[in-house]
Structure 1
Amino acid sequence: MDNQVKDSIIQKLKEYSLNDWPDRSQLPIELLPYYPIRYEISFAENLVLKNNRIVIPENLKSSCSNFIHTGHLAIVKCRDRAKSSVWWLGLSSQIENLVRNCPLCVENRTNRKETFLKDEITTRPWLKIALDLFKLEKWYKNGMVW
C-alpha cells in the first residue's frame, strides 16, 4: 500500500478512477497503455485494483514475480498464481521470460530433444529385422473383436 502511494503512475490511476479519465489525447504518454483498460481500474480500501487484482508498483515487480515463481512452477502455473491476486502491464510476458531464463528451471527441464538415430542401410534383404512395440486396445463391433 505504501509503495502504491510513492508510485506516480499508480497515483494518477487512482485519481482517474476516482474522478474521470481525460480524453486519450490529454493523457501523459506513460498512461496511454492503461487507457483501453480504464474501466477495469478502481480504487478500494486504499489500493488501486485492476478488477479484483492489486496493481503492483514498479519497484515491487521484480520481487513479486520472484515470489510468484517460488517453487519453480511452469509458465502456466505461475500465470495462474499471478491472476489470482496481482497485475501490472506486461505481467504475462515478464513471467514467461523469468521461467524460460531461470537457471534451475532450465537445468531441470524435462522436454529435452533427443537426436534422431539413423540405422545403417543393410547390404542385403532380411539382414536386419525390426519390430515396433505397441499396446493394442481391443474394441468390439458387431460382437467381433477388432
Structure 2
Amino acid sequence: MSTLPLTHKQLKIASRCDGVVSKVMQYTRQGWPNTVPKAFKCYWTRRNEVTIEAASLLWGTKVVISETCRDRILTSLHESHPGIVRMKSQTRSYVWWPGLDKDIEKLVKSCDPCS
C-alpha cells in the first residue's frame, strides 16, 4: 500500500464518508442481512472474504477504495503509461472496487500514449 497516492488516514476518512463502503463495514462488523440493495450486491457476494483491518475495508489483502479516491489512484498508477494489461495487474495487487477493470479500460483507452 505504500505505492498508493493516499495515506492510510486519507483512505480511512474517505471510507467513513462513503455511504456504500461505510455501510459494508457496518454489515461486516454486525452481520449481513439476507438481502441487500443493488449497490451492495457485489460486496454481499464477497461478504465471507471482506474484513476490516486498521479501520480499512479489505477484500482479501486488497484495500477496498471508496468512490472519491478511485480517480486519484488510477491517475497515479497510470503515470508511467503501463498499458491495460500491466495496469490491471498492478492495480489489482493493491486495491479493489466494483467496476475496477472497466474503470482501468476506460482510462487507458482515453489515453493517447497508451492507444
Q: Aligned partners of 1:5, 1:69: CA distance in 2, in Å?
A: 26
Contiguous gaps of at least 5 residues in structure 2: 1-11
Q: Aligned partners of 1:40, 1:93: CA distance in 2, in Å?
A: 22
Q: Aligned partners of 1:43, 1:105: CA distance in 2, in Å?
A: 36
Matching residue of 1:4:
15
* Structure with the larger RCO, 1 or 2 (CA within 8 Å, 6+ apart): 2
Shift of 1:79: 0.9
Q: In the alignment, is residue 104 of structure 1 matched against residue 113 of structure 2?
A: yes
2:91 aligned residue (67, 82, 98): 82
- Following TM superposition, the consecutive aligned residue runs of length 4 or more in structure 1 with deviations greater than 2 angstroms are none
Map 1:1-146 to 2 at 5 A.
1-24=12-35, 27-106=36-115
Shift of 1:28: 2.5
Give me the TM-score of the superposition, normalised by structure 1: 0.67
Structure whose alpha-carbon radius of gyration is higher? 1
Which structure carries more helix by proportion? 2
Q: Which amino acid aligns with 1:6?
A: C
C-alpha deviations, 1:50-105, integer Å up to 9, x for none? Answer: 11111111111111111121200011110111111111000011111211211222
RMSD of aligned alpha carbons: 1.2
Matching residue of 1:133:
none
Identical pairs, percent? 28
Report how many residues are paired. 104
Shift of 1:33: 2.6
Q: Aligned partners of 1:96, 1:104: CA distance in 2, in Å?
A: 14
